[in-house]
């Protein structure tokens, strides 16, 4: 939906969108070149957290050709807003870019809501967000009338109970914690794989990382980690998780790879990651 909404916004605003070549991997250099072609007085783009992280890493790269970082930074600052969705971005990446004067807006929504309907934790006008237990529930005029799949068509009604876990901060803003299916039970304790990833990414030497559940006869489920980065940090990842989450959160396998499997959308390919551990 986010990708379609970029084009819809352009049509409504009567502006010409600039398209990137999606048949090749996303790079900061290609993004900066595309951004420089934008002609409208208002500039927006939608990114997933992986793309945002690559832009942040490029700005920090001391080996970039002279002027490359300044050109990228200049283009990023020209955006009225960079909308980030699909998954919750890493806090450190967002803080780094905002400190450089780049307007990062974290969006939350889904197909059933026509895309983003909560911006930086604040619902749009006419949208109401509640927590049922810890699950996010959305109501308002953004909801679709029904959902259709192979089993048929089901009306949504006045409220849509999502599969996402959330909480409200001290200012009443929504913070999405992750999906219900990203919470495992290890030794009787609930462990959020999204939280596992957040903690593990903070370990120096980790460039990219994903967590999955591994079936275990004794614990029920254990954490598995696949990462791109320095070979020597595997033990540090396990130690960091054990220190913060206890034995239940300590990964039983930490596998170094040349790249974390991803879908064309840029999101982690969770099924491919799970198969990777099954084939070991």
pLDDT tens readout for residues 5-38? 888 888 898 889 999 988 888 899 999 999 999 9
- Could you say which of 180, 206, 228 is where a domain stops? 180
3-state secondary structure of 207: strand
Residues 245 and 213 in one domain: yes
Domain range holding 143? 109-180
Give strand ranges (E) for 169-241: 174-179, 183-186, 189-192, 206-216, 220-229
Residues 50 and 96 in one domain: yes
Residues 93 and 8 in one domain: yes
The whole-angstrom separation of Cα 82 and Cα 148 is: 31
- pLDDT digits over 202-240, tens only? 898 898 899 999 999 899 999 999 999 999 999 999 999
Residue 107 host element (H or E) = strand 104-110
User: Which residue in 107, 128, 110, 126 sits closest to 118, CA to CA?
Assistant: 107
Residue 71 host element (H or E) = helix 68-78
- Could you say which of 45, 74, 102 is where a domain stops? 102
- Could you say which of 51, 70, 102 is where a domain stops? 102
Residues 71 and 134 in one domain: no
Report the chain's C-alpha Rg in angstroms. Answer: 20
Name the residue with higher pLDDT: 63 or 195.
Answer: 195
The DSSP output letter for 143 is S
The DSSP output letter for 141 is T
The whole-angstrom separation of Cα 175 and Cα 56 is: 22
Residues 60 and 123 in one domain: no
Residues 41 and 60 in one domain: yes
Residues 149 and 196 in one domain: no
Q: How many domains does the chain fold into?
A: 3
- pLDDT digits over 108-162, tens only? 999 999 999 999 999 999 999 999 998 999 999 999 999 888 888 988 999 999 9
SS3 content of the chain, % helix, strand, coil (to 5): 35, 35, 35
């Amino acid at each position: 939906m986010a990708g379609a909404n970029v084009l819809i916004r352009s049509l409504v605003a009567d502006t010409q969108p600039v398209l990137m070549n999606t048949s090749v991997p996303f790079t900061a250099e290609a993004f900066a070149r595309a951004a420089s072609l934008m002609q409208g007085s208002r500039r927006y783009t939608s990114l997933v957290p992986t793309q945002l992280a690559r832009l942040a890493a490029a700005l920090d790269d001391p080996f970039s050709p002279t002027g490359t970082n300044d050109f990228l930074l200049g283009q990023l600052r020209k955006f009225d807003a960079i909308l980030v969705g699909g998954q919750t971005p890493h806090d450190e990446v967002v803080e780094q870019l905002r400190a450089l004067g780049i307007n990062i807006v974290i969006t939350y929504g889904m197909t059933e809501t026509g895309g983003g309907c909560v911006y930086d934790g604040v619902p749009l006008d006419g949208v109401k967000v509640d927590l049922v237990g810890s699950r996010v529930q959305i109501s308002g005029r953004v909801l679709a009338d029904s959902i259709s799949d192979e089993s048929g068509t089901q009306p949504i009604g006045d409220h849509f109970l999502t599969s996402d876990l959330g909480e409200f901060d001290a200012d009443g803003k929504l913070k999405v914690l992750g999906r219900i299916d990203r919470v495992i039970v290890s030794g009787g304790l609930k462990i959020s794989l999204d939280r596992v990833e957040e903690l593990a990414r903070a370990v120096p030497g980790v460039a990219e990382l994903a967590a999955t559940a591994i079936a275990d006869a004794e614990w029920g489920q254990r954490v598995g980690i696949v990462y791109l980065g320095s070979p020597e940090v595997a033990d540090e990842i396990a130690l960091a998780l054990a220190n913060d989450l206890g034995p239940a959160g300590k990964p039983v396998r930490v596998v170094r790879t040349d790249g974390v499997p991803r879908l064309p959308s840029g999101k982690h390919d969770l099924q491919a990651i799970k198969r990777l551990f099954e084939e070991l």
